[in-house]
Chain A
């Protein structure tokens, strides 16, 4: 946390600094005595770097607005760099050099009225700025999430941070913080969008309104922020079970929901293993993965994407579930409970469906109370669209030397392929949309194995 505050301070100081640079143009004397960095200018919109060929001024020289300070050579031409304001060239950081990126500090300049002797030279901010730039993306969230833990931080750093942070408060919040002399606004639970601290939060904090009001209002507003599914009634498909249109054999997407006697609902997906099999057939000894690893990664991926084992469903998901007629069951298991059953590495892809079935045994235990998986494999003739991209697989498997061999190998494969029919039975009270998502993800993963493999 402390680190975070320091970061904030760094940000604030660099902020102030840029302010001072602006103020230079107005000759505001308040911040006199601080010099500023002169950076490599971008002389054309596409310029990324340039060479310094000549400085027209020496250290200590003063210049006037419109003077040519230096010459810069770009890939297109040699150009003069004019200065915008009067000043003194305090220090030249890069006398001559090539391929200097735009934005790099090349000199230190001071205000025309400054006395160089008492001048406070700015530290090399480039590095700290880079840091703040690179880390700013990740920094945004923690500010919000760790609000509560921040109260433990030393008082000194907090009040320092307040100065930096106050600027981002809503006007009403700033006002209240000053009015009630709140020393650590970070400790106040925030109910605004993206964790923003709202007026109501501060009012609740100082006891002006009931503590529970902001959060119940937050709930109310959150429900408004998603589409209202309450009035939506799904239409029954226009076709009957028997007349389901037949599509390409490998792409059966039809979703059948058959309520069973013991309150289980069954989803069925036909999964084509063609692509995965031929991919696995191309594996070589040196490839560091076994079939079991591939399979368990695919299942784990589907589990987490479908959020089948997620604890708190978000409201739109629950609305969607409600729409499809299933109340939500909170599952306490986490995905990491899932331990795939493992097998020694094996190049035999014939038993692929066996691996898949066995891997599924490791589903989180309390999830398996709700979910049952059945497998049946169907052998059928190959749909003959085995136009697999050798170069793609080569790329994924990191070689392209023996593509001819593998091509031959592939043609030697029998012209039949085993499709796996995955049946997921769930209890009536589990989130239906997630179960569907799970099966769909699984199907997509098995049929497009390169996506999962590419992440390794």
Chain B
């Protein structure tokens, strides 16, 4: 009798535990918070230690602190913001914008009715403007850390055991040992080296060096026709360099839609950048003041050797987890050195999670940010959200290129029936009046249900326009849904609406 009573109560509790699992996660955090408060000035164990202060890491740290976790962020660069803020997205955008203004003023004012003379580049001032914006943004993150009570450990982290990270201080910061209940690896990526080519950041540069050349090179060769290569190529081309892009694949623009890629190379060629596609680099040597480059066209096997002032190696990036001691812990990686994670960003050691460039998926700052938030929410709330179909990609050339969802190639491969709707910016009133009407919007929808599958655009402000398409895709909208939304006139966004109309019923109004 007594036994059966015990049994029932135990079972009840057991079932309760099972049912409550999802709700139990916050309780778990709460109890861990209580644990910490119980030993407030004790051994200083953290709820969360984020390794890396880039866009993935710092966002995760701030979100963690906002959700009540005692959080510390380890960064060895000396400034927060990672590659993106220090030597990536942000400084390149400063140069892209200012070089574009220079180029417009110099070449494009006469027909607009503005006569300007004596236009010249002051490169050191342009670099200073870039450095100032980087500085204000990186110190802005330090302020955000303070505001959200995220502790900041300046130094190089290395795992001692799965619960402990030793940090070797830099810039006069003391060494320390961090014990934490959860870790997030957000160490990002580094430049992918080209075998046999040594990057000296003066003559043979990576994207980092290309952001701070001391003078405008006469001739510049860009190895890799992806986003980084075309952006940096654009900067120096506008400032006066003769830029040649060497791309191994038959088309530039990496994973972008084939139609957009074609339009891109047409428009960019007009701006003076030369493309050598289906071409591989055989060797590159610094030869006095210039670099000797040997290339081979893979279609006709023709070899060519020429001199260039600067060679930019921009063939991609590789995950960076060096010195972290992941092999010591036995954390599983894949053959490209990406840390393998599950759907909740856990490595094979569950309390160590990984986000951003260090793991699978596209290497984009905003993807890392969203993963950082999701990973922290999995820790604190047991639930997170990243939709990998809705991660927009933007290239900040002029015109900009932006896309979200699947490409037409992918739609063909997967054998689904699809419809295409396009609309050129040359038929958009705002683009026309701005005298900046190169490009088009291309919408891919499911042929039967009209559901949006992908949106690709090349044109003015495409990077801003893609936001609307991303939202529509996230919400499962059809082309009709977007077309029925009122868009202000005259705006560039009307081009999106008209392309949606074209995809939905085959006809846009203005084209």
Contact = CB atoms under 8 A, between A and B. Distances in A.
B404 to A, nearest CB: 11
Contacts of A239: 327
Interface in B14-59: 14-15, 17-18, 20-21, 24, 27-28, 31-32, 34-35, 38-39
B36 to A, nearest CB: 10
B476 A255 contact: no
A344 interface: yes
Given A170-B478, A220-B416, A237-B327, A290 B18 contact: no
Given A171-B480, A225-B387, A234-B332, A433 B448 contact: no
A369 interface: no
A304 interface: yes
A244 B342 contact: no
- 4 shortest interchain CB distances as A-B pairs: A200-B449, A192-B476, A316-B343, A224-B389
A200 B342 contact: no
Interface in A136-174: 170-172
Contacts of A305: 21
B18 A304 contact: yes
Contacts of B24: 301, 455
Contacts of B453: 221
A198 B18 contact: no
Interface of A: 170-172, 175, 191-193, 196, 198-201, 203-204, 209-210, 213-214, 217, 220-221, 224-227, 229, 232-235, 237-239, 244-245, 247-248, 251, 253-255, 289-290, 292-293, 296-297, 300-301, 303-305, 314, 316-317, 320, 323, 335-336, 338-340, 342, 344-345, 389, 391-392, 395, 433, 436-437, 440-441, 444, 450-452, 454-456
B259 interface: no
B388 A226 contact: yes
B18 A336 contact: yes
18 contacts: A193-B475, A200-B450, A200-B451, A210-B448, A217-B449, A217-B451, A221-B451, A237-B332, A247-B328, A289-B13, A293-B9, A320-B342, A339-B11, A342-B7, A342-B10, A389-B39, A450-B35, A455-B28
B448 A454 contact: no
Given A224-B389, A227-B361, A301-B17, A317 B343 contact: yes
B484 A171 contact: yes
Contacts of B298: none
Contacts of B199: none
B31 A235 contact: no
B493 to A, nearest CB: 16
A172 B476 contact: no
Nearest to A299: B14
Interface of B: 3, 6-7, 9-11, 13-15, 17-18, 20-21, 24, 27-28, 31-32, 34-35, 38-39, 161-163, 327-330, 332-335, 337-338, 340, 342-343, 348-351, 360-361, 387-390, 405-406, 414, 416, 446, 448-451, 453, 474-478, 480-481, 484-485
Nearest to A298: B17
Contacts of B390: 225
Given A170-B477, A171-B485, A199-B449, A437 B350 contact: yes
Contacts of A292: 10
A203 B350 contact: no
Contacts of A456: 13
B10 A340 contact: yes
Contacts of A247: 161-162, 328
Nearest to B10: A293
Contacts of B17: 297, 300-301, 304, 452, 455
A300 B14 contact: yes
B393 to A, nearest CB: 14
A232 B451 contact: no
Contact of A235 (B334, B350, B405, B450): B334
Contact of A293 (B13, B35, B338, B481): B13
B155 to A, nearest CB: 22
Contacts of B28: 451, 454-455
B389 A344 contact: no
Contact of A214 (B9, B332, B348, B449): B449
Contacts of B39: 389, 391-392
Given A172-B480, A199-B481, A433-B342, A342 B21 contact: no
A235 B18 contact: no
A24 to B, nearest CB: 26
Nearest to B342: A320
A290 B6 contact: yes
A227 B334 contact: no
Given A248-B161, A454-B31, A227 B6 contact: no
Nearest to A288: B9
B7 A316 contact: no
Contacts of A454: 27-28, 31
Contacts of B475: 170, 192-193, 196
Contacts of B343: 226, 314, 316-317, 320
A251 B161 contact: yes
Contacts of A437: 350
B335 A234 contact: yes
A200 B18 contact: no
Contacts of A340: 10-11, 14
Contacts of B360: 227, 229, 232
Contact of A221 (B9, B21, B351, B389): B389
Contact of B448 (A200, A251, A339, A441): A200
Contacts of A237: 327, 330, 332
A296 B16 CA distance: 12
B392 to A, nearest CB: 14
Given A233-B334, A297-B17, A451-B28, A193 B474 contact: yes
Contacts of B389: 221, 224-225
Nearest to A314: B343
A227 B340 CA distance: 11
Nearest to B344: A316
B10 A304 contact: no
Nearest to A170: B481
Contacts of B333: 234-235
B481 A172 contact: yes
A111 B174 CA distance: 68
A126 B161 CA distance: 55
Contacts of A210: 448
A450 B478 CA distance: 50
Nearest to A342: B7
Nearest to B42: A389
Given A392-B38, A395-B38, A436-B348, A203 B162 contact: no
Contacts of A221: 389, 451, 453, 476
B151 to A, nearest CB: 22
Nearest to A238: B327
Given A171-B481, A172-B484, A292-B10, A203 B449 contact: yes
A200 B163 contact: no
B340 A217 contact: no
Contacts of B449: 198-201, 203-204, 209, 213-214, 217
Nearest to A436: B348
